[in-house]
Amino acid sequence: MIFIVAKFPVKPEHADRWPEIVADFTRGTRSEPGNLWFDWSRSLDDPTEYVLVEAFRDPAAGGAHVATDHFAAACRDLPQYLVRTPQIINVPDVPGDGWNLLGELAVPEQT
């Protein structure tokens, strides 16, 4: 699995609309067969920062993603809404294909 986290520093005047601005990119990526998840969150410390957590099945799926029209459109269109270049962590060889449980915070089963 390829696991990616990116921080997007959005211009203040666009921060509240960011989910709408990236809606086509989000929808397109989530529809890719090799995409495992593509989830946006807004920072609790900085309301102009959005964090994207995404994963792809394998390197081929990641390569297919960067070759899509919606990826090209995002690269072309999104920088105008940003304060600076996003930061990224890209881990290409994560074992498994999904999330694990956080055992330290185990919640008893509800009956």
Dump pLDDT digits (tens) for 7-59.
999 999 999 999 999 999 999 999 999 999 999 999 999 999 999 999 999 99
Question: How does pLDDT run across 77-96, given as a tens digit for each residue?
Answer: 999 999 999 999 999 999 98
Encoded amino acid at 8, one letter = F
Question: How does pLDDT run across 61-80, given as a tens digit for each residue?
Answer: 999 999 999 999 999 999 99
Rounded to 10°, the helix 69-77/23-30 angle is 160
Could you report how far apart the first and last alpha carbons of the chain are, in Å?
Answer: 34
* Alpha helices per DSSP H over the chain: 18-21, 23-30, 59-66, 69-77
Domain ranges within the chain, ordered by starting residue: 2-94
pLDDT at site 110:
86
Q: Which tokens belong to 21?
A: 């601005």
**Rg from Cα positions in the chain:** 16
Q: What topology is assigned to 2-94 in CATH?
A: Alpha-Beta Plaits (3.30.70)
Task: Examine the pLDDT at 111 and tell me if it is beyond 90.
Answer: no
Its pTM stands at 0.91
